Chain A
Amino acid sequence: MNAIETQSLSKDYAVGFWKRQLRPAVKSLNLTVNLGETFGFLGPNGAGKTTTLKMLMGIIFPSAGSATILGKDCLDPAVKQKIGFLPEQPYFYDYLSAPELLEYYAQLSGVAPAGRKDRIAELLARVGLADVGNKQLRKFSKGMLQRVGIAQAIIHDPEVIFLDEPMSGLDPLGRYEIRELIQSLKDAGKTIFFSTHILSDAEALCDRVAVIHKGELRGVGVVNDLRSATAEKSEVIWQGAEALAAVAKYAADSHVTGDTVRATVSTQELDLVLERLRQQRARLVSVTPLHGTLEEYFLAKTAEEAVRA
């Protein structure tokens, strides 16, 4: 059983004065998230990330396609008992205190009254809000609200947690704290699906990521594989400085230290370079593919349309 699965999930918004024009926000999305996985949903602003999350949460209805969570339709109330959700830039009832808010959400999520208070106290301590007392949420900073948001998302100990831009708008310390919280949920074996446009966070936390742009899925895979996919260069180290002349035109960047040469060559020309070095009787020390960053992959995927055009 997959944690999350979407099949041709699509959403069109009616636009214009007479609402007769359809603007696609998500186009036939097919996605699978495994149990226990931390899955990053990447895309620039307006890519369709939040629309997808809203469909999964039953806040909006798909124009076509379907989605299942833990093997059941995503609108099934039994499923909602097992999921937690933190919306983008969450706004909570600001006349409530943090314990009151969590009590309310615990009631709605069916958390048994016995032990509810202990659970709330434990969660507030876990998100670093143990000493907020009965201060109303309207007096909370953005970082504090985000932490309350995480607490409400996990008050009922869900199996799958959806986080929409959890680090958005936070200062470096706030981002670090939220990242640590997500890491602790990951360590506890929870399935985490989070959308973000902050790639370093996805790189640090995710097992797999998907890139969505203009409503279309542009790529999905294991973070390391995706980074390697952008690695179009390799570093070659050999002994025999005199061989450099034979491959100089393929080496974009080369450094000679004594008799050892370190050069960067295009992966496409790697075989040719190695053959020339063999002919020159140079002694090969190492060949290392240079890993790209997730950012390079992301930029490559989001720029594909421009290239096609």
Chain B
Amino acid sequence: MISRLSAIALNTFREAVRDRVLYNLIVFALLLVAGAPLLGQISIDIERLVLVNVGLSAISLFGVVIAIFIGIGLVSKEIEKKTLYTILARPVRRWEFIVGKSSGLLMTLAANTALMTAGFYAALLIDQRHLGRADAGLLIAVYFSALQFLMMTAITLLFSTFSTSIFSAVFAFSLFVIGTFSEDLRNFAALAHGITKWFSTGAAYIVPNFASLNVIAQVGHEQPIGGRLIFFNTLYAVLYSAAVTAGAVLIFERRNLK
């Protein structure tokens, strides 16, 4: 089982690595990170803050874009191109395929995040001439972005199991936007009454809470991030991703692949 999972994951990773579009995205993101010091220079006294905000936002946004861009095709492309036929004719269980594909995309995102984080720290070093203890704290924001990617991977994979690539992209991006403003949805639910309150409360718990994973402003201002938040955010992201991936498996197990 492990060898099959790793084979599918590595093949997914290899497919992403050999895709030119991925490189376009990475180069664009790195250029943005590299250009951040220029933005800093025109911002008097807040060079570091601008650099941190732009750099960390670029890592987060491009990671999400890559998760959606690759994730939407993970299953639907294999069905459309019928490459899945030769996989399912082998002793590969459908859940193994889903988990393997998901792991492959996460490997891609991990490599991409590592690359962009290295670029970000290089830009920071050039701008400040040195790296201090406060700069290490920025890694927490990167870690939270990685948790966001974990959730987005599960979400795009779920849509990919029953929808076309285009619809999957629309659904996944919509959920990302809603999830980013999930705090507003919770506040609205708290103020609402009757059926609206029930509906909005339910929606607030179902949509991914990306707002709590965004600590870019705090780390930019060198505010400490508590261990409790790190623990609960990790737990939340892992459980949410596991639940969504289980949903994807349930759908895919029953699907007729025409």
Contacts and interface: CB of A to CB of B under 8 A. Distances in A.
A253 to B, nearest CB: 50
B88 A104 contact: no
A90 interface: yes
A93 B83 contact: yes
Given A91-B82, A91-B83, A110 B89 contact: no
Contacts of A110: 3-4, 91
B89 A83 contact: yes
Contacts of A61: 254, 256
Contacts of B87: 108
A109 B90 contact: yes
B212 interface: no
Given A60-B258, A77-B93, A78-B91, A108 B85 contact: no
A146 to B, nearest CB: 13
B15 A85 contact: no
A87 B88 contact: no
B7 interface: yes
Interface residues of B, number: 26
A87 B82 contact: yes
Nearest to A162: B89
Contacts of B258: 13, 60
B81 A91 contact: yes
B193 interface: no
A152 B91 contact: no
B229 interface: no
B221 interface: no
A108 B4 contact: yes
A107 B5 CA distance: 10
Contact of B90 (A54, A93, A108): A108
Nearest to B256: A60
Nearest to A93: B83
B86 A80 contact: no
A108 B84 CA distance: 12
Contact of A80 (B83, B91, B257): B91
Interface in B1-24: 3-4, 7-8, 11, 14-15, 18-19
Interface string A53-88: 010011111000000000000000110110111010
B174 to A, nearest CB: 25
Interface in B52-85: 81-85
Given A59-B257, A108-B7, A87 B90 contact: no
B89 A95 contact: no
B91 A77 contact: yes
Contacts of A57: 85, 88-89
Interface of B: 3-4, 7-8, 11, 14-15, 18-19, 81-93, 254, 256-258
7 contacts: A58-B88, A87-B85, A90-B85, A91-B83, A93-B15, A95-B14, A107-B4
Given A92-B86, A109-B90, 13 more contacts: A58-B88, A59-B88, A60-B256, A61-B254, A80-B92, A83-B89, A85-B86, A85-B89, A90-B86, A104-B11, A108-B87, A108-B92, A110-B91
Interface of A: 13, 54, 57-61, 77-78, 80-81, 83-85, 87, 90-93, 95-96, 104-105, 107-110, 152-153, 156, 162
